[in-house]
Amino acid sequence: MKKRTRDLTIAAVIAAIYAVITMFLTYPMSYQASQFRVAEALTILPYFTPAAIPGLFLGCIIANLLSPVGPLDIIFGSLATLIGAIFTYLIGKSNLKYKKYLSPLPPVIINAIVIGILLQYTLHWPLFITMLQVALGELLCCYGLGLPLLFVIEKNKELQKFF
């Protein structure tokens, strides 16, 4: 398969998985202050391939169609995912000694800031507490689920072929 077609396929599969997990398997907890979005475990995938970046972005746009915050979450929540994915990719390509352990960090930080501000602006929740809640949910999903996923992919030759 040509690289462009392969990358588009990877992006589409990631987008579909992200959206389905968020909208159907973990609704409504994916849209609360704790932001316990199991699909955020997929945000480690840019560590392996840049094709995951548009997939995560599109998946988040689709998932945020159900957000109680509305269009602002579709825009800013999805942009937060995009920025986090880009930084995860850059960490994966870096020469950092602990890059595996740092790769889940960008989505945690970016979402804590962006979603925290968004929820404070739209729902008038206390900013610092909301940022901490979002960060905690992201930490659980990105490190508790995403980091083990990274290790599984690294150790499995068949999964590595996908990326």
Can you give the CATH number for the domain in which 57 is found? Answer: 1.10.1760
The whole-angstrom separation of Cα 135 and Cα 137 is: 6
Domain that holds residue 51: 3-162
Number of independent structural domains in the chain: 1
Find all residues with CB under 8 Å of 152, minimum gap 6, and list them: 159
Task: Give the pLDDT confidence score for residue 34 in this predicted structure.
Answer: 73
What are the CB-based long-range contacts (under 8 Å, 24+) for 88-91?
A: 88/43, 88/44, 88/46, 88/47, 89/46, 89/47, 89/50, 89/52, 89/53, 91/47
Per-residue pLDDT of the chain (163 residues; tens, 9 = 90+): 688 999 999 999 999 999 999 999 888 888 877 778 999 999 999 999 999 999 999 999 999 999 989 999 999 999 999 999 999 999 999 999 999 999 999 999 999 999 999 999 999 999 999 999 999 999 999 999 999 999 999 999 898 888 8
What is the pTM (predicted TM-score) of this model?
A: 0.95
